[in-house]
Amino acid sequence: RPTAGHMLRSLAAGPHKLIETLWNCSLPIVAEVKGRTSRMGLHMALACDYTVCAESASFAEPFVERGFSVDSGGSWLVPRYIGIARAKSLLYRAQPIDAATAGEWGLVTEVVADVQLTSRSEAIARELGSGATFAIGVTKSLVHRSMYTSLEDALVNESYGVEITIRSDDFKEGMSAFMGKRKPNFEGH
């Protein structure tokens, strides 16, 4: 038998730390999903900002059929993406869902043909990476905070976000490009 507390320590140092790092990363992260994705792999995709999956992908939460409860952020992430009723079904029943269902439920951002998976995820990563990544990072933080704050608090947080981002080089470049009717060349500063 395992020693008392060993799972508390190992989850905190490994899977939980990874999920928290992905969730809190200030840069936009694109996940690419193919094949069967379950447990921590699914939660890693949910902790990312944009998830592209292949039509042949499937998703499952088989924790309870193995006799233990969800970990690696699944109890927090899954309901936020697909709602409590669907989350309970996915987590309690351990029945896999296909990519089309994952797309309909909002578990993934985009479903593409298998042969387009890598090219599409790379295109999204390039698009986000060449954008105003400082502003994207602040926006990501605002979106995450808004999930557990009031509207009033979200509005105050947005004011601080705008105050910070209008002082960035990316803002200056974005405004210069807008005035010059050209595409901006952001550098993430």
pLDDT tens per residue, range 131-167: 999 999 999 999 999 988 999 999 998 999 999 999 9
Place of tokens 């998830």: 51
Nearest Cα residue to 15 out of 90, 91, 74:
74
Please indicate whether residue 2 or residue 140 has the higher confidence score (pLDDT): 140
Nearest Cα residue to 140 out of 128, 152, 150, 130:
128
β-strand partners of 37? 59
pLDDT at position 16, please? 84
Model confidence over 32-84: pLDDT tens digits? 999 999 889 999 999 999 999 999 999 999 888 888 888 889 999 999 999 99
According to DSSP, residue 142 is labeled: H
pLDDT at position 96, please? 95
Contact 56, 36 (CB under 8 A): no
pLDDT at position 11, please? 62
According to DSSP, residue 2 is labeled: P
User: pLDDT at residue 116 above 90?
Assistant: yes
Contact 173, 184 (CB under 8 A): yes
Single pTM value for the model: 0.87
pLDDT at position 164, please? 92
